Amino acid sequence: MDISRHTLSNGIRLVHVTTTSLVAHAGVFLNTGSRDEQPLENGLAHFIEHVLFKGTRRRKAFQVLSRLENVGGDLNAFTTKEDTCIYASFLPEHYDRTLELFADILYDSTFPERELKKEKEVILDEINGYLDTPFEQIFDEFEEQLFNGHPLGRNILGTPEHLRAFGREEVLAFIQRNYRNAGTVIASAGPIPPRRFFHRAQRWFESRGTAGGERPRQPVNGYTPTQRSVERPGYQTHCILGCRAYPVDHPGHFPLLLLNNILGGPGMNSRLNLSLRERHGLTYHVESGYHPYSDTGIFEVYLGTENANLERASDLALREIARLRTLPLGGLQLQRARQQLKGQIAIAGESNLNLMLALGKSVLSRDRTETLEDVYRRIDAIGSDSLLEVAREALDPSIFSRLIFRTPE
């Protein structure tokens, strides 16, 4: 995989991988997310992601949406705790059209009040749908529990009260404070040479944006394990247990990725799935997750079951964690675990859209890229002893918090 990088004179970083596909993908990544909101701005980063498409100095909203759709392309965006991304898939002959549209959206959006008002109703409906889905809501409430009082604990969607208070003035102030060239990356995966992509990106972006370094973020606060149980109507009891975990650049990052995959990754042969579902029939859905941020992370185990089975299911999950913390993997077990993770990463990389998104995110968060071969080498370097050491430190039940959404008896 041939990855090429370039930095424009205004500080915007570019990354491109040449593919043989008939479709190209590109995205603009901004080092700004819900973590960068002030308390009264909760939900503003996500709101801006929506209203960036609502008209520019040159285009009305329907013209923004039709610019790529009219030539068979697809335009989309997302917001996370630490970044915002606008991305598109399109035919390679439309690179100029795509990059020009990205620049128009980012730097010339006008945010008319009538469009802001309409989009608030759309997001309020999104919030209501989210509140109707306890499986999604419990993950956000668990993050709030782990990062109590810190911006990382806030819901990305925000609240109806905050959303209704946003106007054009708040939108422009947030963009001015947070959208900086030093925190902007443009990524591309498509069948054109790197120099052609760099030249086109330079044409539309080199004279744009806001100079200056990236703004500092509020450091993470202290952590104390907590236990919560909330009664709410439904047919299933939901439970999450876990703790804070390693940031993305921590030496334990890859060992914890491997441990998580063994414990409750997407494979049907994960230890949690084999124990709770296959052997004991206690749950339809059980999983674990490791989500690194720039300076911290989250490890969690989720399960959904009946009230009567909750404690037994939780005990079985903790038993599988205890096995990872006390019993080193044998040579064959370790080899299989490495191969499974490498296979999953390779399959995800078969999607050039996923590849472009991963490249952009890697340059944005760590200012570097890794080829598939680099990742394989890091996975193959994980030994049984280091895996056990990380399991004992990161998967310690004494530092676990727990959140339960319990159905009424």
The pLDDT of 52-57, averaged and rounded, is: 96
Domain coordinates of the chain in residue numbers? 3-205, 227-406
Mean pLDDT of 247-253: 96
DSSP 109: B
3-state secondary structure at position 378: helix
Average pLDDT value for residue range 275-299? 97
pLDDT confidence of residue 110: 96
Cα separations in angstroms, 346 against 256, 282, 340, 372, 400: 19, 32, 10, 7, 32
Q: What percent of the chain has pLDDT over 70?
A: 100
Listed residue (150, 157, 183) closest to 38, CA to CA: 150
Count CA within 13 A, CB hemisphere, residue 101: 28
Average pLDDT of the chain, as a whole number: 95
DSSP per-residue letters across 264-296? HSSSTT-HHIIIIIIIT---S-EEEEEEE-SS-
Q: Of 91, 96, 95, whose CA–CA distance to 21 is shortest?
A: 91
Cα four-point dihedral sign 397, 398, 400, 405: positive
pLDDT surpassing 80 at residue 17: yes
Q: Are 131 and 137 in contact (CB under 8 A)?
A: yes
Number of alpha carbons in the 13 Å side-chain half-sphere of residue 8: 27
Q: How many Cα atoms occupy the beta-carbon half-sphere of 141 within 13 Å?
A: 21
Q: Are the folds of 3-205 and 227-406 the same? A: yes
pLDDT value for 357: 97
Among 74-83, 95-104, 213-222, 278-287, which is the least confidently predicted range? 213-222
Structure confidence at residue 211 (pLDDT) = 81
Q: Around 87, how many Cα atoms within 13 Å sit in the side-chain half-sphere?
A: 28
Give the residue-averaged pLDDT of 363-380: 93
> How far apart are the C-alpha atoms of 178 and 101, rounded to whole Å?
21
Note the pLDDT of residue 54: 95
Both structure tokens of 4? 């090429």
Pairing of strands 297-305, 286-292: antiparallel
Q: What is the pTM of this model?
A: 0.93
175-207 residue pLDDT tens: 999 999 999 999 999 999 999 999 999 999 999
pLDDT over threshold 90, residue 61: yes
Q: Which residues contact 216 (CB under 8 A, 6 or more apart)?
A: none
Encode pLDDT of 70-127 as tens digits: 999 999 999 999 999 999 999 999 999 999 999 999 999 999 999 999 999 999 999 9
Predicted local confidence at residue 408, as pLDDT: 86
Q: CATH for 227-406, among 3.40.190.10, 3.30.230.10, 3.30.450.40, 3.30.830.10?
A: 3.30.830.10
Q: d(Cα 211, Cα 275) in Å, to the nearest integer?
A: 54
Q: How many whole angstroms separate alpha carbon 174 and alpha carbon 389?
A: 42
Q: What is the rounded radius of gyration, in angstroms, for the C-alpha atoms of the chain? A: 22
CATH annotation of 3-205: 3.30.830.10
Q: How far apart are the first and last CA of the chain?
A: 56
CA neighbor of 14 nearest in space, from 24, 31, 33, 28: 28
